[in-house]
Structure 1
Amino acid sequence: MGQENVWRLMQRFSSFRRTNIILQHLRMSKHTEAANDILLERKGCAGVMILNRPKLHNALNLYMTRQIYSQLKKWEQDPETFLVIIKGAGGKAFCAGGDIRELSEATKAKQKFAEVFFREEYILNNAIASFQKPYIALMDGITMGGGVGISVHGQFRVATEKSVFAMPETAIGLFPDVGGGYFLPRLQGKLGYFLALTGFRLKGRDVHRVGIATHFVDSAKMGMLEEDLVALKSPSKEDVAAVLGTYHTQSKIDQDKSFILEEHMDKINSCFSANTVEQIIENLQQDGSPFALQQLKVINQMSPTSLKITLRHLINGSSQTLQDVLTMEYRLSQACMRGHDFHEGVRAVLIEKDQSPKWKPATLKEVTDEDLDNYFKSLGSNDLKF
């Protein structure tokens, strides 16, 4: 081997080493950053979890999902921990959803990240639903997507005047997951179908009125509420409910304001009771009221594939257990990652922010029943297991 070749090899090796060292540093800095993404502490009788990514509205990443899950399991077994409180840092958001930008980038780079992320997120949603101790989510601020998944399945959910609830997934080529197929069709009338297809935002006391939250408390009183909860001595579920009930009863904010959709509920129930998205659209056109036409405009901007998946998913989910729904959602999530619309939605809404996604297929008519069936197909040995 000539000297020149040896020299070239050494050069390549040193640049390879340099790259490796840089990557290692990046990984380490990412890890130390990640270590602060969620803060876990024992306070009095309670385990307290703080989602700590305020600049990203506390978006949920894989590291946080894993930390919440393992800590929940520990606290469930710990005789000194009587309840768990979960809240968001920064005052603006509880949790605005999963870190979908990270998800899209990893999937495009052909990493297996999406398989792991959704699997662990849905297993966590189920663990919260079956948690044996009072679990209290303080939904003070934006609570959307993945943030709904770590709150709505808990025993107690506290909304404030700053709460904003939405499942806006059809706008980014996804579907309302994290158990959306379970809790949405169980809301009053056809409200859940309406929320799922349009991504409509519910705010403040309305989040409690529809049953997403179990209690409503003034945002300014959240600190005091938490202090009273952690100060309880060996509390039962009833003791926790009594403290929350007292704060709820004392709250007067927006008490006399009527539910924002109250006058539209008859329209929602009749228009959204159809079994196909095409029929829902026809119902809205025939209704012709300003409200119906506004919803029509919104729906027409959504991914046609997402709309069809979402409706079928809610109809199926209305008679399934939460675990069955999460299994179905896992199949859908993997199909969406393989498809076009999710990555296009993330590009249009989050990356380039031009807000004009080019959906493929572009019309409802082009999304066939066969296409739909493929989204719901079993993944065999890769199916979600609890």
Structure 2
Amino acid sequence: MPTSRAQEQAFKELKLNDKYFMSLLLPMAEAEGDFDVYLMENGVMPVLLQGLDALSRHVDKLATGGEGSGSSRQKFNPLTWLAQYLLRNHPLHTSDHRDSMYQHLQELAAVERGRRNLLRRMPEFESAWMLFTEGHGLSTAQIEQVLQQLDTTWNLEGEFVRCLPSNFVARIPCVDPEKVTFNEFWTFFEETVSTQDLLRVSAFDEAAIRRQQAEQEALEALERQRQREANLAEEQRQQRLLQAKFETVCADAYLNPELSQIMIKGAVLAYPMDLKGEHIILILQLLRAWGHSLVDDEGNHVEQDEWDERTKELWIEWRKAHGPQTSYPGVVDADSLKALMDKESFQAHHHIGEVDAET
């Protein structure tokens, strides 16, 4: 809805400026919750003042027989009229000549919040101060350390120290520059904060977000480390089980008469010999320990005790990868069987021992 010249002139006469803003602020000791600042930064007070001014002018018109006069008019309710005005002129739903004023008051409110935030941290200043003194006052260098300590504690990454005026510490009025008391420091600091825009609350909000992110990253890093340790422990456990299984099968193989014939007396095992028995099972168990096993179409391990074409192909596969190379890779002889049961080669293939070394 366009604004009339009369409305613009009335708005200018309200003088919603810095002086108006400061006149509505409460003493900090009485401003619990900073509701006075809240009302200004959200435009409530300036809109209310405009509404009251407009209501006053409207009532004057009614009294002189202006708008809405006549016997048929409804009974005038000033509260309803004012509520309707506030709804129609809410800063979030209007855009006119008042926008710059609202923005300016929001900026003033942000400055005031920043001032109050700093001054309410007096106990933190005093606690940091006491870390560097035994009650005899601090030197200029020590005060700078106090300020740096606070900056670090607040996670402001130097922003607090940088926002202070040039030569701030050196300008503190005091009896002895080498023994500045906390009261002398705070009086000067309070005066400085009250007259300047040093540090907004947003800086502390951003610092809190950085701290939360750092804490979250630290937790995630700790969880990753725990997961790595758990994975390592599980890998070590699996390696121990694998080695124990391998050693058990090797022990059984040394006691098996058919395999003893191969290792000691030079016998061989080759397809298409019609062979079945425990010695075939032991060879297949050893191959499986090395990572070579018979599987069905669904990927499940197959147990059998017969030396056939599939068994031969599995043996050739292992021998090409790990066993001695000969002209007859499909034959199980003494050299290849001893290689199959060689503990050091088996450990090297599965990196057994290397995981323990990493820890």
Q: Which has the larger radius of gyration?
A: 2
TM range (shorter): under 0.3
Which structure shows the bigger proportion of residues in strand conformation?
1
